[in-house]
Structure 1
Amino acid sequence: MEWTVQELADRAGVSGRTLRHYHQIGLLTPDRIGANGYRYYGPTAVARLQRILLLREAGLSLAAISEALASGANPDDEINALEGHLAHLEHEQEALGLRIASVEHTLAMRREGRQPRMDMMLEGFNDRYEAEVTEQWGRDVFEQSNRWWHAKNLTQQRQFQADAEQLLTQWGELHQSGVSPSSDQAQQHAAVHAAWFAQIPGTPGHAGDIDKTRAMLTGMANPYTTNPDFHPAFGGAAAADFAAQALRHYAQHL
């Protein structure tokens, strides 16, 4: 079975121009080109397009997609990559199911003239760090912390977030005061920071595992320096790097 450019474009939800562009840059080659100059796509090309669309949806550039597909030419590599895509889609499906249930709950309560539950209205919408936590510490850690978070009422969630903001603000104030990351003041605040992490179920600090706590604190400190998204919360890149240095020093001496 083969499809023309337009037939494949219609089924994939992309334009014929996009498919022709993919061909021109060597990203997606037709299975054959007919005597009439038409491009024809069979199962091999369609399977490759599936991966291209998955990677594009994940935010990769066309150059990065080309590199990823080139490095995964081995059939085993392709299977591993597809398993990874499937796991990601299943997680997205789970999150979407939670959001659908949340909206259905709100709609049902409104129709009955009743007040929706506040925690249900936010179910599935505030798991912003699922991918990061799962990648760094495993699915079990995310599940435990997620259940703990959703067990809190809205007031408790807001208080937790306020405490977190104050924790980071204090790092900026310490940096402005001119003390060193290894000073008593900075190390005392590092202990407070570590205790804040430890209250979250699933973390090694919560379980009392010193070695894994040391690794976690170091792992959490690194993005404070390298990820610009964290910098404003600390009051700037220098303050964020100060906090990272202090946490690493604290971890080394646990």
Structure 2
Amino acid sequence: MKKNKQFSGWGPTAQQPQQHYLVEPRHLAGGGDLRYVTEYLRASGWKDKSKTGGPVVFDSPDKSVRIGYDPYTQPGGWTISGKATATQEAWHATFSRQTPVEIVAGFTDALFTARLAHAPNVWEPLQQHGWETERGQHFTARSPDGDAVVRFHQDAPGQAHWWAGARNEHGRVWEATLTPTTPMHLVQAFSTALADPQPVMRPLGRVPPSQRIRTTSVSVLPHQLSAWQQARITAARAAAWGKNAFASNKARPQAPGARPYAKAGRMR
């Protein structure tokens, strides 16, 4: 199903508009532009360790997390690994090549946000958008169209992992696997991005050949694309600044005589 839409009123109209498509559901939109993820990392101060002609590799400033993208191996795709710390076990996540970058970014962007006070709930964002959940040998959530699944897969005690994937009429499109030690706020951020009903944009020629998707044709001016990209970069810098400021305040010694924080049980 295709519709036409024209963006207007964003500055001068002398630039030549480019044809793009808004694609939904996003889990069937195809991989997208890697820069949606990598430019956010770069703007957040991550070190680009990539070599010319080789895989994409980024290390976090503290070298505790590495993010890579390898299109040259099978099955290839994204690999994200966190080192063990005093409070966190080592963890590992993989996303195959056709995982939409907006969904991968939901996971990676969460590396820059402070953890919420309440316990993360992976299933809540899915249920809020009509995903059906079922308990069996594995706990499973399925998208309203039936084409995407999130599952906590447990073969035996001590042998478990998170698995997600999507398929269309041609077969499986992408899959993701996360170790059970993956921080839960990251898993929830992934499920939130996956369940988001907002369409994602793909340029002409990059829309998957599937009858399961809905597309809206849009004419986009080059400076509009630049503005949207810059807004994301600005958000990355703000998130990085906020995280660094939080870490600095946390590490700062408390002044003599200062009142300690109230215990959680006494907070009002």
Q: TM-score normalised to the size of structure 1?
A: 0.23
Q: RCO (CA 8 Å, sep 6+): is it higher in 1 or 2?
A: 2
More helix by share: 1
Larger Rg: 1
